[in-house]
Amino acid sequence: MSSSIASPLSFRPLQEAHFSLLLAWLTAAHVQQWWGSDVRTIEHVVAKYLPRLSDDSLVRCFIVFQAEQPIAYIQAYWLADFPDYSKQLPLADLTGVASLDVFIGEQPLLGKGIGTALVRLFLRDVVFGLMRAESCVVGPAVDNVGAIRAYERAGFSKVAVVSVEGAPTAECIMQAKP
């Protein structure tokens, strides 16, 4: 599928004003299927995401806008800050290795090339730009064929398949470099 994104994409730091939208997205079936969040109420959103608004949060959270419409959520962090997870990955050195997680909240926008475009832009502007990461690693479930394909098209290559503690299926570990 060729990706022709009609309107420009931009990233705006998550704010409290986005919380009700975030709740609607996190509880939508197409996000639940792959994101596996236990957030079910606005109180859950506040408890989990309010601390992430602070400058010293380990996770940098953004709402993705297409022109003026919020359409997706994306977050980035250093893998070394999450050793319980990262120690399970086949990576010798975590220095400068970032990770990201993403979902498109608006279901009708899936499968139109937007995920590919926004991940590519986020790598350039945030992960390799703002954070100056040396590489970025993602771990979609092996059966999340759409995400794996979108990550590949955005510049990631498959590195390994890993069984991660607590995850229902194995993860396809993928890496991108600037």
Ligand X SMILES: CC(C)(COP(=O)(O)OP(=O)(O)OC[C@H]1O[C@@H](n2cnc3c(N)ncnc32)[C@H](O)[C@@H]1OP(=O)(O)O)[C@@H](O)C(=O)NCCC(=O)NCCS
DSSP conformation class of 51: G
Query: Across the strands, what pairs with 104?
Result: 72
Q: How far is the CB of 17 from ligand X (least distance, A)?
A: 22
Comparing CB distances to ligand X, the nearer of 45 and 102 is: 102
Place of tokens 């220095």: 95
Residue 34 or 40: which CB sits closer to ligand X? 34
Rounded to whole angstroms, the Cα distance separating 107 from 25 reads: 9
Rule CB under 6 A: which residues touch ligand X?
Answer: 1, 30-31, 34-35, 102-104, 110-116, 140, 144-147, 149-150
Residue nearest to ligand X (CB): 115
Residues whose CB falls within 8 Å of the CB of residue 165, separated by 6 or more in sequence, listed in order:
84, 88
* Closest approach of ligand X to the CB of residue 56, in Å: 26
Determine contact, residues 158/115, Cβ cutoff 8 Å: no
- By beta-carbon proximity to ligand X, the closer residue of 114 and 123 is 114
Contact 172, 148 (CB under 8 A): yes
Q: For ligand X, give the closer residue by CB, 28 or 53.
A: 28
| Calpha distance 1→140 (Å, rounded) | 21
Closest separation in Å from C-beta 171 to ligand X = 9
CB of 106 to ligand X, least distance (A): 9
Which residue lies nearer to ligand X by CB, 67 or 95?
Answer: 67
Query: For residues 44 and 24, what is the distance between their CA atoms, to the nearest angstrom?
Result: 12
Under 8 Å CB-to-CB from 146, ≥6 apart: which residues?
A: 110, 111, 115
Least distance (Å) between residue 55 CB and ligand X:
26
